[in-house]
């Protein structure tokens, strides 16, 4: 029996029709994304494992949103797009990063259910290595600029420049402010765009490059050591923590010496990295020895209080414990 495979031409025609539908019905396209986020949570356990089904649905919704964002971005004004000469290299690194960021948790859970703990860590190490390579490509291409939110496509809404803005640099903060020369407003409509994968801090050089390399390789170091050590070993925890702190100290040293105007995106990224240190409270063995007993004590103390006790217990069992068991939810990679 012959099976007719869809021709590339037919697939392209179908995609073109779907893209046109997305452009004409953006609100319905966004609702379709939400359907993929919500519906898998309603699937009964008898049909499939709730964790697997919900995470796969969430991944599919994220991938669909990413595709819709790209369709809308491609239809925007040409001046909002990067130059074609540099876009191909960046795209080759950012597309895998974006796809992995959407499917990594689902892949981790499927590997755990199908092959056990060792299979789970094999998948984690493989994905972390792929992301590390892509990030190093972005770092090399940008000549040492600060990697923003680990490099994947992150959508945002911007107003096209209308040529009537002026810049003002604060004397004390060094921040650059942009205002409209006429009335302080920009009547250009919002268009969808993506944040750049990296931003210049003004301190590009060996020290910043070393800090970025430490930031990039840290998740790989942690994953490889977790794969080879027991869950309660301090070796992965301390190796990851020391690598991360070393990178943050280098960036802090650069910030203290910086004389050029600050870049808001660079400051935001440095702040995000420092806040990610709190995720170590969710990583073993610190979680099992410090965080978990403290949280359990809070649950016991609130248990006699009507409603509050149940809410706290529900948040711990279905929130904290669930996320703590998933590497990619607390990896900050």
Domain boundaries, the chain: 13-76+89-161+189-199
Residue 188 is predicted with a pLDDT of 56
Which of 170, 6, 169, 156 has the alpha carbon at shortest distance from 76?
Answer: 156
Predicted pLDDT at 49: 85
Q: Name which of 29-43, 152-166, 318-332 the model is least confident about.
A: 152-166
pLDDT of residue 270: 92
Angle at CA of residue 252, ends 246 and 255, nearest 5°: 150
- At residue 83, the pLDDT reads 46
Query: What confidence score (pLDDT) does residue 1 get?
Result: 46
pLDDT of residue 6: 66
For residue 263, the model assigns a pLDDT of 82
Residue 184 pLDDT exceeds 60: no
At residue 144, φ and ψ (nearest 5 deg) are 90, 15
**Which DSSP symbol is given to 183?**
S
Average of pLDDT values for 85-104? 86
pLDDT more than 90, % of the chain = 50
Dihedral over Cα of 145, 148, 150, 154: its sign: negative
Q: Is 101 in contact with 324 (CB distance < 8 Å)?
A: no
Looking at every residue in the chain, the average pLDDT score rounds to 84
- The confidence score (pLDDT) of residue 114 equals 92
HSE of 77, CA atoms in CB hemisphere, 13 A = 12
DSSP secondary structure, 266-290, as one string: HHHHHHHHHHGGGGGGGSTTHIIII
The confidence band for 259, taking pLDDT boundaries of 50, 70 and 90, is low
Residues facing 167 on adjacent strands: 178
Calculate the CA 136 to chain-centre distance: 16
Q: How far is CA 100 from CA 121, 123, 126, 224, 275, in A?
A: 15, 12, 11, 18, 23
How many angstroms separate the CA atoms of 56 and 302, rounded? 35
* Residue whose C-alpha is closest to residue 193's, from 167, 149, 160: 160
Q: Where are the beta strands (DSSP E) in 35-133?
A: none
The length of the chain in residues reads 333
User: CA distances (Å), 282 to each of 244, 278, 317, in order?
Assistant: 16, 8, 14
What pLDDT, on a 0 to 100 scale, did the predictor assign at position 127?
97
Q: Decide if 143 contacts 106 (C-beta within 8 A).
A: no
Name residues whose C-beta falls within 8 Å of residue 306's C-beta, 6 or more positions apart in sequence. Answer: none
Q: Is the pTM of this model over 0.75?
A: yes
What is the average pLDDT across 168-178? 50
- Between CA 41 and CA 20 the distance in angstroms is 30
């Amino acid at each position: 029996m012959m099976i007719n495979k869809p021709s590339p031409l037919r697939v392209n025609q179908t995609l073109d029709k779907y893209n046109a539908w997305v452009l004409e019905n953006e609100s319905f396209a966004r609702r379709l994304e939400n359907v993929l986020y919500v519906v898998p949570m309603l699937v009964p356990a008898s049909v499939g494992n709730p964790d697997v089904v919900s995470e796969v649905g969430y991944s599919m919704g994220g991938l669909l949103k990413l595709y819709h964002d790209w369709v809308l971005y491609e239809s925007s004004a040409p001046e909002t797009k990067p130059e074609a000469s540099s876009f191909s290299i960046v795209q080759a690194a950012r597309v895998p990063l974006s796809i992995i960021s959407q499917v990594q948790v689902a892949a981790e859970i499927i590997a755990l259910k199908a092959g056990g703990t060792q299979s789970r860590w094999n998948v984690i190490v493989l994905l972390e290595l792929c992301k590390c390579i892509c990030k190093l490509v972005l770092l090399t291409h940008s000549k040492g600029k600060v990697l923003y939110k680990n490099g994947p496509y992150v959508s945002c809404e911007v107003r096209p420049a209308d040529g009537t803005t002026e810049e003002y640099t604060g004397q004390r903060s060094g921040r650059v402010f942009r205002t409209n020369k006429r009335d302080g407003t920009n009547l250009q409509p919002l268009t969808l765009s993506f944040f750049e994968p990296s931003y210049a801090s003004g301190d590009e050089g060996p020290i910043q490059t070393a800090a970025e390399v430490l930031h990039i390789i840290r998740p790989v170091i942690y994953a490889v050591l977790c794969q080879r050590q027991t869950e309660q070993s301090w070796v992965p925890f301390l190796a990851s923590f020391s690598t991360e702190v070393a990178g943050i100290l280098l960036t802090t040293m650069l910030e203290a010496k910086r004389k050029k105007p600050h870049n808001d995106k660079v400051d935001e990224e440095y702040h995000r990295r420092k806040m990610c240190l709190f995720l170590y409270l969710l990583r073993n063995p610190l979680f099992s020895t410090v965080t978990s007993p403290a949280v359990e004590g809070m649950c016991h103390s609130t248990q006699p209080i009507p409603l509050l006790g149940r809410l706290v217990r529900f948040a711990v069992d279905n929130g904290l414990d669930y996320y703590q068991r998933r590497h990619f939810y607390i990896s900050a990679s």
